[in-house]
Amino acid sequence: MLIVHKFGGTSVGDAGCFANVTDIVCDRLAEDDDARLVVVVSAMSGVTDDLIAGARAAVEGRDAVYRQVKARLLDRHLQVVQRLLQQNTERVEVGGFIEDRLHELDLLYRSIAILGELTRRGSDAVVAFGEQLSAHILAAALRERGVRAQALSATDLVVTDDNFGAATPLIQPTRRRLQERVAPLVERGTTPVITGYIGATSEGVTTTLGRGGSDYTAAIVGAGLRADEVWIWSDVNGILTADPNIVPQARTLSGLSYAEAAELAYYGADVLHPKTIRPVVERGIPLRIKNTFDPAHPGTLITARPAPDREPLPAIISTTGLSLIAVGTEDDSWTLQTSAHALQCLCEAGVDVLMFSQSFSEHSLNLVVREQDQAHCLQALGRAFGDDGRVAANGYNLGTRERVATVSVVGMPGWGDAGIVPHAFATLGQHGTRVIAVAQAATERSVSFCIPEDQLAETVRYLHRELGLEV
């Protein structure tokens, strides 16, 4: 039985978490003599964000900030090494690897600062360090526990196109490399620890698969090695009816079809990257979503045909830490082309727009972006529309409106008589939630609302109760 296990950033957030992950891997290996494992790992939580923040500081000439980022990353990773690894040889080796990589990062930041330019290609080179560090730490920790583990960089395995920041893996060359370089290791009883999220073009230039892309890596590796299953380990009990941090009574969706899981992932169910499904569907490989902090919990099983007795519950997916940004004109010179230009500029600047709404009567475009992208987004729009990013100039108004959250309600076929969408609208109305923007799927099975962040928790709890999801 070959299983690909992917551990997310929160699963390797500190030394204790790494130790927990090594326990899980050792337990899985001990379970049966034929157990063969491939591990895919994310960067430690927050590291990718830090790396990006450093690159943005470098390009803006804020030298002290990128130096701090580098120093903080060095400190954080070396601390894990000190606390986690017992043997001096492993400590020295992994410590040295971390120092070397972060020295390279420093050089990269400096060249970004000197050039005053941060391309998507440069940004990918920067963010790729996070997964390299965590993979080496985890492999060393496993070796200390007697597992024959070896860290492998996906830049040698996952071949992609050159769409930096959201590269598409090229199936055939990737499969060939996985078969040539990973399969023989696994055959010999080695447990490869592969960096998630990253890849390289056929010329060897580092790329990334998009934020949260380690899940996608796991699926690609699983499909390429014809694994029996792919397990995605995060910090919650699978895919739930709501965020358990907001609704403690939230229930795990025990079984989902590939299509249902893809839809939930698409709406931002954080535990699964939306592209993860495609590679496993083609080979019919079951996908499990599990909790590293509660490994005995069965989690969610995603297959072509989920068990007929599972309950087709709807799910509420919420995302916080978002900013609402408005760009527009006082007069009616704002056109669809202006919106297209704004979106294009943000795409080129590497800012993810999670939701947007175009108001023709207000001559404006409202954009929902992650809070950490806010300053960068305002700058990119400022450049695009020729002002300093804050005040009106050249007839454009640009500004941050407020902190917002999104709530999506996704129905399952076979649940309830009336559609989920009218039900969701009515419930928000009853609750008095202020709805800032709405996006609805043409299938009428799901709807997303942008609401003020301070109304999120109450709204989600109310929806969960009103949709009858509490037992």
Q: Which stretch binds Mg ion (CB under 5 A): 3-11, 102-110, 182-190, 237-245?
A: 3-11
375 to 85, 346, 366: CA distances (angstroms):
39, 12, 16
Residue given tokens 């301070």 in the structure block:
454
Residue 213, interface with ligand ASP (CB under 6 A)?
yes
**Residue 450: CB partners within 8 Å, gap ≥ 6?**
322, 324, 355, 357, 366, 368, 404, 405, 406, 435, 436, 437, 438
Query: Which residues from 119-158 bind ligand ASP, rule CB under 6 A?
Result: 130
Of 9, 268, 299, 411, the one binding ligand ASP by CB under 6 A:
9
Rg of the chain over all Cα atoms, to the nearest angstrom: 23
Instruction: Quickly list DSSP for 263-276.
Output: HHHHTT-TTS-GGG
Cα-Cα-Cα-Cα dihedral of 21, 101, 58, 110, to 10°?
180
Of 13, 122, 169, 212, the one binding ligand ASP by CB under 6 A:
212
Residue 212, interface with Mg ion (CB under 5 A)?
yes
Residue 319, interface with ligand ASP (CB under 6 A)?
no
State the minimum distance, in angstroms, from the CB of residue 308 to ligand ASP. 33
State the minimum distance, in angstroms, from the CB of residue 212 to ligand ASP. 4
State the minimum distance, in angstroms, from the CB of residue 213 to ligand ASP. 5
Query: Which residues from 5-34 bind Mg ion, rule CB under 5 A?
Result: 8
- Residue 212 or residue 279: which is nearer to Mg ion going by CB? 212
- Residue 242 or residue 289: which is nearer to Mg ion going by CB? 289
Residue 54, interface with ligand ASP (CB under 6 A)?
no
- Residue 213 or residue 255: which is nearer to ligand ASP going by CB? 213
Containing 28, the helix (H) or strand (E) segment is helix 15-31
Residue 196, interface with ligand ASP (CB under 6 A)?
yes
- Report the C-alpha gap between 244 and 147 in whole angstroms: 34
Can you say whether residue 280 is alpha, beta or left, with left for phi > 0 and alpha for psi between -120 and 50 degrees?
A: alpha
- Using Cβ positions, the residue closest to ligand ASP within the complex turns out to be 214
- Report the C-alpha gap between 427 and 462 in whole angstroms: 8
Residue 199, interface with Mg ion (CB under 5 A)?
no
Q: Residue numbers of the site for ligand ASP (CB under 6 A)?
A: 8-9, 42-43, 48, 130, 196-197, 211-214
Using CB under 5 A as the criterion, which residues of the chain lie in contact with Mg ion when the complex forms? 8, 212
